[in-house]
Amino acid sequence: MKTAIVFPGQGSQYTNMGRFLYENHKIARRLYDEASEILGYNLLVACENKSGELNDTNITQPAILVYSIASWEIFKELNQVEEIYFSGHSLGELTAAVCGEAISFSEAVQLVQLRAKLMSQCGADGGMMVCFGLNYTEVESICKEVSTNNNHVTIANYNMKDQLVLSGHQDALHRVAEILNGQGAVTKKLDVSVPAHSQLMQPAKDGFREALRKIQKKDSKYPIYSCITGEPYLHSNDIVNQLSEQLTEGVQWPVVMDKLIREGISHFIEIGPKTVLTKIIEAEYPNVFVSPYNEINGYHTLFHSEAQSYSMNDIISFLQASLRIIVGTPIKIKIEQSKFEKEIHAPFIELRQELGKLKKNNRPQIDSIYSKKLSNQFFSILFNKGFNREETVDLLKSSIRDKNILARIHKLYI
């Protein structure tokens, strides 16, 4: 079976990321300890985010890279890796090169530290914002209209058909936002420290290219689909250009997805923190299977579950228990109202609606893909309420008293 592994970039970080990894997986402890020694600080402690460290790209980039690589190593231990294709969103492409064994872990940690440093030095007059509601051709036209040689704005991330991220000079971003809002779009300035994927990154691109030239590189074991062209590459000579060019070029995620799907791939796994790419793929490509692989949603065997199905009654029992837990548990962490609506309330309403649909359905069996999606949603809600995976599993076991049901659906929560 052809499978695409996708690795996320910045924006997927969260407080205490990697703690479960470190405490439960020997390979993760080794990688985190090695990374901390190279970086000159304790990466896991930095990820506690007690002073807002994860708002700093100098911390965030190494944190996401190391987390994703550790998760890949766990994935390999539990799954038979055969016909695999890689892609990464921005920083995630460096992760892909490491997981493809084209770049060593130790050199990758040094590279990501340099990448973050170079990028942060380019951000004095720059920023980023997200735009919803207009297609990319309209937004591109407005960016070109506003941009000058000394005041530039461009599309940094083509994520979804009507969701784009813009990057550039603050003044140009402000002018573009006024025009976009006047045409019915919704814009929001992002709280980031660098104007990634814009012309402002040229000095960073030059410095990073030079560093990439100097390190030892090998051909990748798996094809890596470039996040800026969508084209696959394997050769070590391509790594320098691909990983440096992306600093000033926009991430073309729809192009990447279209290329992978045309390759015959219908199974996607996001390996890394949170589910940013999973949500994009679910929204834009409903006919493919996508599953997150992380400490929130669980580290488990994936490749033997596609043929499995669950009884309607068991999934109804699972959903009923999930909804009871969501309603009956407190929010243990401080959370903004907007995040509560997006990450807790809206998914809860969706699960409740799915339960209603299932009760009206006459099918005796429910496929594993749909069932796993419901499970992922439940675990994400509890995570955003402040419960780790082990706590959530314990709550689930307490809520479902029938041990036979628990045994039959155990792959949904292991």
Which CATH number is 156's domain given? 3.30.70.250
Are 221 and 368 members of one domain? no
**How confident is residue 308, by pLDDT bands cut at 50, 70 and 90?**
low
Q: Is residue 180 part of a domain?
A: yes
Are 17 and 112 members of one domain? yes
Are 138 and 243 members of one domain? no
**Catalytic residue (one of 197, 198, 226, 375):** 197
Q: Is residue 271 part of a domain?
A: yes
Provide the 3-class DSSP secondary structure of residue 369. helix
Is 90 a known active-site residue? yes
Look at residue 123 in the predicted model and tell me its pLDDT.
76
Are 358 and 228 members of one domain? no
**Catalytic residue (one of 12, 68, 87, 90):** 90
Is 197 a known active-site residue? yes
Q: Is residue 302 part of a domain?
A: no
Total structural domains in the chain? Answer: 3
Are 259 and 284 members of one domain? yes
Are 278 and 314 members of one domain? no
Q: Is residue 284 part of a domain?
A: yes
* Domain end position, chosen among 293, 321, 345: 293
Pairing of strands 3-7, 84-88: parallel
Q: Which two tokens stand for residue 230?
A: 């969508």
Average pLDDT, the chain: 92
Q: Is residue 301 part of a domain?
A: no
The enclosing domain of 59 has a CATH number of 3.40.366.10
**How confident is residue 307, by pLDDT bands cut at 50, 70 and 90?**
very low
**How confident is residue 80, by pLDDT bands cut at 50, 70 and 90?**
confident
User: If you write DSSP's letter for every residue of 91-133 in order, what string do you get?
Assistant: HHHHHHHHHTTSS-HHHHHHHHHHHHHHHHTT-TTEEEEEEES
Q: Specify the pTM.
A: 0.82
**How confident is residue 124, by pLDDT bands cut at 50, 70 and 90?**
confident
Condensed to tens digits (0 to 9), the pLDDT of residues 311-352 reads 889 999 999 999 999 999 999 998 889 889 989 999 999 999
* Domain end position, chosen among 261, 293, 325: 293
Q: Is residue 299 part of a domain?
A: no
Are 288 and 378 members of one domain? no
Pairing of strands 289-293, 224-225: unpaired
Condensed to tens digits (0 to 9), the pLDDT of residues 211-261 reads 999 999 999 999 999 999 999 999 999 999 999 999 999 999 999 999 999
Are 7 and 97 members of one domain? yes
Are 104 and 175 members of one domain? no
Q: Is residue 283 part of a domain?
A: yes
Are 142 and 244 members of one domain? no
Are 219 and 344 members of one domain? no
By residue range, what is the domain housing residue 159?
126-189
Q: Is residue 136 part of a domain?
A: yes
Q: Which two tokens stand for residue 300?
A: 């488990």
Burial of 332 (0-12, 13-18, 19+ CB in 10 A): exposed
* Domain end position, chosen among 244, 268, 293: 293
Condensed to tens digits (0 to 9), the pLDDT of residues 1-60 reads 789 999 999 999 999 999 989 998 999 999 999 999 999 999 999 999 999 999 999 999
Are 347 and 242 members of one domain? no
- Partnered with residue 367 across adjacent β-strands are 309
Q: Which two tokens stand for residue 3?
A: 């499978």
Q: Which residues of 195-218 are buried (b: 16+ CB within 10 A; e: fewer)?
A: bbbbbbbeebbebbeebbeeeebe
Condensed to tens digits (0 to 9), the pLDDT of residues 273-296 reads 999 999 999 889 988 888 898 887
